[in-house]
Structure 1
Amino acid sequence: MTQSFDPAVVEALESAAGHVLPLEDSEWPEIRELVVQHARDLAGIERCIGLTMLFVLGCDPVDSGFVSQFTSLSTLQVNDSGLTCLESMNDLPLIQCNLNRNLITDLTPLLDLHDLTSLDIIGNPLTAESYEEVLPELRSRGMYITWSERSDWELTVRLQEAGLPFICYRNQNVLRLGSPGFHHVKVPDAGHSAVTENELREALDEDPQRVYQLFERGEGLWSPG
């Protein structure tokens, strides 16, 4: 059974269990924390029904439905991945949620997460409703939220509307280009080039294909924290 697992999932399970696969039936529910990086198939982790902390880094595809069965999950981190939708997360007891640098547009499912106290949502092409209405509503509940500045969010939306596989975000006051999932890159959480707002706007105004050149100049040189 383990032979069909993505190598990245196998590595994550072996690290969590402290030994090589296969796992005994009794071991799967005992895994509480799992870190999966660069997986193209998350099959297998659904057996870890006792998870309280799940970290999915630079993976694709990622569907929010895969976490809905982890009824004890309090911390979820999905970064630089192909996550687009947050449906099926309504009943999770999430307290902390980091969804930076994905392709999420709709945040309304988060309104049902009444235990959520911390949300990171930088670098996503959110709809105007999610950015201007849902985020302020969540914040009014006392939730601590880290989100993109308006100019960065608007540029990310423009990148997606132009059909480009990029998002932009700010790290330590430096604007960077990322490419969530495996649509354009082999390692989604690395090689994020630094750009200026002016040159990105000029490229989008004059020739959106120039954004590829802006991204490629930083390939393999930097990895986000």
Structure 2
Amino acid sequence: MQIDPAVDRAILRAVGHSLPATRQERESVTSLNIRNAEKISCMGLFPSLQRLIITGCDPVSVEQFSMLEGLRTLTLEDSGFSDLSGIESLPLLSVSFPRNCVKDLRSLLGIPHLLQVDVTGNPLSDHSFHQIIPALRESGCRVTASEELEWKLTVRLHSAGVRISCYRDPQGQGYKLFRPGLGLTDAPQYAHPLVSAGDIRALLTGDPSAAHRYFDGEPRLV
């Protein structure tokens, strides 16, 4: 099976030397960090994985890591992840998927021992934003999520076919726009332009495609 070069680089970082890695080395890996991969495969070669970090990858699906029976921490950032179906079969304690394309959070309610979730910057459905997030919090799960303004803009843009989202800048400088996954950029985790609350309101009432103007250069064609 051909492995994406980005996955090869993740394996190299995990084992600490040039490839190939021995079976024993692969089976002893407990943490893997994959960046900017277009194909995530061979996760079954790492049965001891407890922590998986996926950044700037696309496509991403639960099926790609559903065999990891010991996975406790899953982090998906700035990727094309959109469907949580099946994630309830994993023994996760922490799930973070900030800045992705997820709409439906219902599957999270099926993870029995979930302690922490980050759903910031996703085009969540009204039901997920107003019903599922409170239900998770009531169950004792710590949830980090977008506030109303940036969530509304994210939903509006995605509903209009503009794959750009919004989140509050953690440094307190305002808000940022980003392009999840590899559809419009080769490195979605970088170059998130700052915007103001006024910019957000203008995009909420104006032309959604105007969001592209905040990014340098032309969007990548898909």
Say which is worse superposed, 186-195 or 13-22, in terms of deviation. Answer: 13-22
Tell me which of 24, 33, 36 is aligned to 1:35: 33
In the TM superposition, what are the counterparts of 1:138-217 in structure 2 within 5 Å?
A: 138-171=136-169, 172-173=171-172, 174-216=174-216
Letter in 2 for 1:182: L
Per the TM alignment, residue 142 of structure 1 is displaced from its structure 2 partner at its CA by 1.1
The answer for unaligned runs of 5 or more in structure 2 is none
Tell me which of 90, 101, 104 is aligned to 2:102: 104
Instruction: Please name the residue that 1:222 is paired with.
Output: none
2-structure distance, mates of 1:20, 1:216: 36
Letter in 2 for 1:57: T
Say which is worse superposed, 187-196 or 27-36, in terms of deviation. Answer: 27-36
4+ residue segments displaced more than 4 Å: none
TM-score (norm 2): 0.93
Say which is worse superposed, 76-85 or 202-211, in terms of deviation. Answer: 202-211
2-structure distance, mates of 1:179, 1:79: 11
1-structure distance, mates of 2:210, 2:181: 20
1-structure distance, mates of 2:203, 2:111: 39
Kindly indicate whether the alpha-carbon contact (under 8 Å) linking 2:76 and 2:98 is maintained by their aligned counterparts in 1: yes
Letter in 2 for 1:177: L
Secondary structure at the counterpart of residue 216 of structure 1: coil
Letter in 2 for 1:89: I
Per the TM alignment, residue 204 of structure 1 is displaced from its structure 2 partner at its CA by 4.2
Secondary structure at the counterpart of residue 209 of structure 1: helix
Per the TM alignment, residue 54 of structure 1 is displaced from its structure 2 partner at its CA by 0.3
Tell me which of 118, 124, 127 is aligned to 1:126: 124
Please list the CA deviations of residues 55-75 of structure 1 after superposition, one character each: whole Å capped at 9, or x if unmatched: 001111101121211110000
TM-score (norm 1): 0.91
Identity percentage over the alignment? Answer: 35
Instruction: Please name the residue that 1:15 is paired with.
Output: 13
1-structure distance, mates of 2:154, 2:204: 11
Instruction: Please name the residue that 1:115 is paired with.
Output: 113
The answer for unaligned runs of 5 or more in structure 1 is 220-225
1-structure distance, mates of 2:142, 2:54: 21
Say which is worse superposed, 56-65 or 207-216, in terms of deviation. Answer: 207-216
Please list the CA deviations of residues 65-121 of structure 1 after superposition, one character each: whole Å capped at 9, or x if unmatched: 212111100001000000000111112111111110000000000001111101111
Please list the CA deviations of residues 125-166 of structure 1 after superposition, one character each: whole Å capped at 9, or x if unmatched: 000111111110000011111100011111110010111010
Distance 1:203 1:131, change over 3 A: closer
Kindly indicate whether the alpha-carbon contact (under 8 Å) linking 2:62 and 2:87 is maintained by their aligned counterparts in 1: yes
Say which is worse superposed, 72-81 or 203-212, in terms of deviation. Answer: 203-212
2-structure distance, mates of 1:98, 1:16: 21
Secondary structure at the counterpart of residue 145 of structure 1: strand
